[in-house]
């Protein structure tokens, strides 16, 4: 082959690659991405019951701005982002259903914007499938409409990384880097730092000061309030980080991989994480995920576009490190940012396995992938259904306990302490207090003193012993726990 012909062939290949990964207009524009985001929103409304009630952490975040109950104790690791996110609804309405619909719509919009940030880096069909893979996980569906921070860290990470990669050709994308980093830091500042570490390294190595400045600006904008609050309420940033570590059981070298596997069966919190591992079918996708990510990276390397896959995979790895190797318990939501960042390289790998270089389907491979994905979706739906059912049952028990407390005369202004007092207090409209444990915000003498001014009750597990100061209080069972009501209140209730 002549040198000129060889050069022409190389040029054609490069142009073909550029067209494949840059001509999003010919790939349906943004409509496939919008369809995925809309389907995600609809699936949340159908599969995750809007009337599920608020969970423990949700009551803490919502109570900071809500009208249902006084603000619950806000521990050191938490950030105010979720409270501000729900304020447009929670500040005037006590309707959980309305809040769920609002968050479902907002989470769909967030997914759309995060995926759109990647246009021009991958074909839109890859972005749509990657978004669908992430959105169809039971964990994503379950937490999308909840007042929790992890999903928003995930979409912030996805959007920030996409804009970071695009900023080489389009400097205006740096505004997306700022916004994505700010959203992450707004929700969970420490998670934002872990996610952005590879981006900061890439910006330094690639001598991209403007990208580094955009990342730092976003982190500062989103995390400034958390840092200021550390000095105002916790004695400084180091003290807040130390207190956050203590509340989480002490951060340090620990192996939580098996804990995360146990949580895949639908456990919202695995602490302590004991019991058998879930069925292999439930864990299969977790084992396949890193293999597909490796294939996606290999495909990118061979195609000469390594950065487009290596950067998100690196960010996914650093996002997962603290929750796999530095903490002694697990919750499936902790890894949502990692799953979001893995989704696009994994989708790229699936298309590579299912199609030929010319874009035609490989019938056998496509059929096998279709069967595998169908089974995967069936498993995700089954786990989601169990998780929603169990969570709804628990939240209804808390609501029934709150109703019983109100019937006994424990009405606002009132105080609850003991087992599950934080969520039950929210449902009852009371303040919660703890004299020990990670949410300590009072003392025994303070609780006893409060019982002379307002209705006070201690909650324990069935048959459990109340604190010494409450052993003579009126006791009765209610929805899976015992209520011990201070004498001043029990006289107002039935005998």
Residues of the chain with pLDDT under 50: 1-27, 490-495
- Which residue matches tokens 């089954």? 382
Q: What is the DSSP letter of 270?
A: B
CA-based max dimension of the chain? 101
Q: Distance from CA of residue 91 to its chain's centroid?
A: 22
Show me where the domains of the chain are located.
28-354, 397-490
What is the 3-class SS of 72-94, one letter each residue?
A: CCCCCCCCCHHHHHHHHHHCCCC
Predicted structure pTM score: 0.92
> DSSP per residue over 404-419, as a string?
HHHHTT--SS-EEEET
Gyration radius of the chain over CA positions:
25
**Residue-level pLDDT at 478:** 87
Query: Number of H helices and number of E strands within the chain?
Result: 20, 5
Reduced DSSP (H G I as helix, E B as strand, rest coil) percent helix, strand, coil of the chain, to 5: 65, 5, 30
* 172-180: long-range pairs with CB below 8 Å, 24+: 173/117, 174/210, 174/211, 174/214, 175/214, 176/117, 177/211, 177/214, 177/215, 177/218, 178/214, 178/215, 178/217, 178/218, 178/221, 179/218, 180/114, 180/117, 180/156, 180/218
Read off the pLDDT of residues 57-82 as tens digits, 9 standing for 90 and up: 999 999 999 999 999 999 999 999 99
| CB contact at 8 A, 168 and 355 | no
Rounded distance between C-alpha atoms, residue 460 and residue 98, angstroms = 32
Structure tokens of 137? Answer: 């996980």
Q: Of 38, 26, 77, 196, which Cα lies nearest the Cα of 439?
A: 77
Distance from chain centroid for Cα 24: 29
pLDDT for residue 28? 56
Distance of CA 372 to the CA centre of its chain: 26
Structure tokens at 493: 């209730």
Q: Which two tokens stand for residue 442?
A: 């009072």
Q: Is 166 left (phi over 0), alpha (psi -120 to 50) or beta?
A: alpha
Instruction: Tell me what pLDDT residue 489 has.
Output: 53
* pLDDT single digits (tens) 438-474: 888 889 999 999 999 999 999 999 989 999 999 999 9
Instruction: Provide the pLDDT for residue 71.
Output: 96
The model's pLDDT over 298-348, given as tens digits with 9 standing for 90+, comes to: 999 999 999 999 999 999 999 999 999 999 999 999 999 999 999 999 999
């Amino acid at each position: 082959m002549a040198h000129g012909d060889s050069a022409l062939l190389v040029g054609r290949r490069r142009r073909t690659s550029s067209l494949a990964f840059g001509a999003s207009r010919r790939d349906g524009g943004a409509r496939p991405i919008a369809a995925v985001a809309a389907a995600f929103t609809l699936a949340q409304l159908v599969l995750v019951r809007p009337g599920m009630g608020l969970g423990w952490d949700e009551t803490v975040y919502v109570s900071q701005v809500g009208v249902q109950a006084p603000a619950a104790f806000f521990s050191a690791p938490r950030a105010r982002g979720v409270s501000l996110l729900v304020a447009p609804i929670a500040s005037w309405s006590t309707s959980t259903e309305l809040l769920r619909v609002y968050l479902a719509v907002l989470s769909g919009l967030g997914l759309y914007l995060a995926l759109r940030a990647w246009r021009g880096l991958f074909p839109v069909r890859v972005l749509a499938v990657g978004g669908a893979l992430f959105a169809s996980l039971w964990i994503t569906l379950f937490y999308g409409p909840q007042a929790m921070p992890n999903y928003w860290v995930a979409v912030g990470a996805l959007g920030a990384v996409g804009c970071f990669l695009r900023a080489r050709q389009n400097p205006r994308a740096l505004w997306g880097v700022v916004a994505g980093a700010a959203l992450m830091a707004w929700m969970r500042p420490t998670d934002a730092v872990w996610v952005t570490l590879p981006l900061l390294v890439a910006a330094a190595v690639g001598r991209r000061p403007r990208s580094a400045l955009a990342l730092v600006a976003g982190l500062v904008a989103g995390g400034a309030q958390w840092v200021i609050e550390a000095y105002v309420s916790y004695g400084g940033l180091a003290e807040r980080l130390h207190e956050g570590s203590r509340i989480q059981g002490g951060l340090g070298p620990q192996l939580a991989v098996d804990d995360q596997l146990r949580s895949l069966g639908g456990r919202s919190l695995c602490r302590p994480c004991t019991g058998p591992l879930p069925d292999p079918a439930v864990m299969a996708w977790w084992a396949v995920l890193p293999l597909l990510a490796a294939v996606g990276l290999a495909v990118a390397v061979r195609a000469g576009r390594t950065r487009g896959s290596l950067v998100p995979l690196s960010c996914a790895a650093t996002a997962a490190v603290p929750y796999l190797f530095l903490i002694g318990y697990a919750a499936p939501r902790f890894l949502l940012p990692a799953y979001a960042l893995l989704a696009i390289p994994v989708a790229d790998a699936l298309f590579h396995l299912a199609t030929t270089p010319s874009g035609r389907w490989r019938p056998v491979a496509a059929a096998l992938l279709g069967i595998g994905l169908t089974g995967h979706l069936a498993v995700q739906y089954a786990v989601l259904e169990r998780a929603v059912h169990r969570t709804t049952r628990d939240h209804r028990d808390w609501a029934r306990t709150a109703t019983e407390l109100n019937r006994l005369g424990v009405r606002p202004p009132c105080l609850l302490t003991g087992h599950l007092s934080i969520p039950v207090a929210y449902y009852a409209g009371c303040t919660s207090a703890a004299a020990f444990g990670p949410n300590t915000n009072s003392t025994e003498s303070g609780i006893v003193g409060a019982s002379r001014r307002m209705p006070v009750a201690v909650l324990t597990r069935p048959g459990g012993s109340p604190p010494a100061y409450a052993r003579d209080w009126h006791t009765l069972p209610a929805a899976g726990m015992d209520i011990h009501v201070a004498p001043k209140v029990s006289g107002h209730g039935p005998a």
